[in-house]
Amino acid sequence: MRVALGVSYRGWAYHGWQSQADRQTVQDVLEKGLSQFTARPIQTVCAGRTDTGVHGLNQVVHLDCEVERDLSSWVRGTNCHLPKDIAVQWAMFPRADFHARFDARGRRYSYVLLESVVRPSMEAGAVGWTYRKLDGDLMREAAALLIGEHDFSAFRSSECQAKSPVKTMRTIEIEKYGDYWRFDFDGSAFLHHMIRNLMGSFLAVGRGAKPVEWFAEVLARGERRFAAPTFPPDGLYFTGPYYDAEDGIPTHTAAMDWLPGYRKNREGA
């Protein structure tokens, strides 16, 4: 049968999602735990690969397995074989041809940034950091330039394997909650390092080092060398993909509730 799982993970101990020879990736650890739970070799397909240090709150994967287990067992049983920083959040039996990657209608990421003269300590590795004051209105003006279909080559890693740099950005929301900024991105798909490269350029505009017009010029030029340096992965969260409503794939996990502003956004308060 085909099984779909929602997986959350803290990314700082792993070399990203995708399986690698050193076996220290989220996919490798998850598949090892699933194989131990089912006593069968298990391979998974994910909705979106994340990079080294990036966190996942609702990574959706699918797998095929001839072993029958109830849904609660897929969650609790698998979690018994996983480390504390990776956990299956939910399980469901989707339609037989459901595909975690190809059926996704879009993907969402959030970046959480601390604005403070003092670096983070308790939340080290879980948030980005800037000690400079940021202007939210300027960053929102820059963000508006990205909405729609664009060639995002200027914000693409040289290691990116995507067939096309043209992606559709549906929304970007930028809000501040106390000393924490939250950047929410919703798009058709994202290039390698795309959000981290965008974050570097947002901060250049937000602190006044570059004008909003510079952001438009960088996008139009389409060359990575004209954009700001890549920002650290610490505060970047893959909040998950979304699908047609009839597929019934969950878009919320408990891990999302502690992100700054999440409850407000979710309830429309």
> Is 51 annotated in the active site?
yes
Which is the catalytic residue, given 28, 51, 103, 234?
A: 51
**Taking CA 258 as the corner, what is the angle to CA 255 and CA 260, rounded to the nearest 5 degrees?**
130
Question: With the CA atoms of 118, 123, 125 and 127 taken in that order, what torsion angle do they form, in degrees rounded to the nearest 10?
Answer: -70
Q: Are 6 and 240 in contact (CB under 8 A)?
A: yes
DSSP string, 48-72: S---TT-EEEEEEEEEE-SS---HH
Q: 108 — phi, psi (to 5°)?
A: -125, 140
**Hey, what are 164's tokens?**
């096309």
**Hey, what are 229's tokens?**
């340096």
Pairing assessment for the beta strands 86-92 and 2-9 based on DSSP bridges: antiparallel
Q: Angle formed by the axes of helices 136-144 and 194-206, to 10°?
A: 130
Residues marked active site are found at 51
